[in-house]
Amino acid sequence: MTTPHETAAAGDVEVVVHPGKQALSDAIAARLVTAILDAQAQRGVAHVSLTGGSLGSDLWASVTGCAARSAVDWSQVELWWGDERYLDAGDADRNDVQNDAAGLASLPLDQAKVHRVPGPDTAESAEASATAYGESMRASGGGAFDVMILGVGPDGHVASLFPGHPAQQTTDVIAVAVHDSPKPPPDRVSLTFEALRRSRQVWFVVAGADKAEAVANGVSGAAPEVSSAAQVRGEERTLWLVDADAARQL
């Protein structure tokens, strides 16, 4: 059986390569359950920020198949999203809806601790949504994440911070409205670099050969106009959890 292997990388970054996407998803799920248990043992509650994309949803199917999930007190897990499409609640293109459908909704979570980004049905603008999301984070003690899970686009973006986009340079706020996104839909809400970095652990989760260049740029610390991923590091640990195809250029 092929097993994951670690690859030395620049600075404090660690890379763990898995043989395929399913193995990667299952491994992320196992890591996440362990990280939540550790956080709850130390602080009573775990703050986790989620990501969209196929792998960001697949991991919840893997979590539901992980026997250790029963050891987690899911009522003491605070869930956030690194970004969200500015769409009405329940829209099939929202990250939270896709995560729910993949298995997140089957977990015994306290819905008051599942912090969803307001859409146009409850916020008059993406700016109002970003403000409300940031205020919710402050009120709930968020902004000090135990685990920040980030997908990475082929262009090197994380959350909805696209290389070279004005929103990428926003400072002094937790969340920012993003307009004219190069990837549809054009209006989004994203955590800022400052918020993403307030994480004990940052996990970049990436699968597919089309992401290989983005992985290489992120691991090597490329400039902001090339890679948003390269600008984010965890306070204690930074992990790139990738499949073999995504690791081709390392």
Encode pLDDT of 69-125 as tens digits: 999 999 999 999 999 999 999 999 999 999 999 999 999 999 999 999 999 999 999
Of 77, 75, 94, 230, the residue nearest 150 (C-alpha): 230
Residue at 249 is within a domain:
no
The parent domain of residue 200 ranges over 5-243
Q: What is residue 105's DSSP assignment?
A: G
> In this predicted model, what pLDDT tens digit does every residue of 201-245 receive, in sequence order?
999 999 999 999 999 999 999 999 999 999 999 999 999 999 999
Q: Is the pLDDT confidence value at 7 over 80?
A: no
Q: Other CB atoms closer than 10 Å to residue 50's CB: what's the count? A: 25
Q: What is the pLDDT of residue 12?
A: 84
State how far the Cα of 11 lies from the Cα of 220, in Å rounded to an integer.
Answer: 9
Please report, as a single letter, which amino acid is at residue 50. Answer: L
Strands 83-85, 188-191: pairing kind: antiparallel
Residue at 176 is within a domain:
yes
Residue at 132 is within a domain:
yes
Q: What is the pLDDT of residue 1?
A: 34
Determine the average pLDDT of the residues in 162-185: 92
Q: What is the pLDDT of residue 220?
A: 96
Q: What is the CATH number of the domain that holds 184?
A: 3.40.50.1360
Length of the chain, in residues: 250
Q: Is 92 within 8 Å of 57 (Cβ atoms)?
A: no
Overall number of domains in the chain: 1
State how far the Cα of 129 lies from the Cα of 105, in Å rounded to an integer.
Answer: 23
Please report, as a single letter, which amino acid is at residue 220. Answer: S
Residue at 138 is within a domain:
yes
Of 169, 143, 48, the residue nearest 99 (C-alpha): 48
> What is the reported pTM?
0.94
Q: What is the pLDDT of residue 6?
A: 58
Residue at 250 is within a domain:
no
Q: Is the pLDDT confidence value at 47 over 80?
A: yes
Number of H helices, E strands in the chain: 6, 10
Give 132's Cβ-side CA count (13 Å radius).
Answer: 16
Residue at 248 is within a domain:
no
**Alpha-carbon distances of 11 from 8, 15, 114, 201, rounded to whole Å:** 9, 11, 34, 15
Residue at 91 is within a domain:
yes
Q: What is the pLDDT of residue 10?
A: 45
Torsion of Cα atoms, 97 then 73 then 150 then 29, to 10°: -90
Residue at 21 is within a domain:
yes
- Please, which residues have CB within 8 angstroms of residue 225's CB and are 6 or more apart in sequence? 163, 164
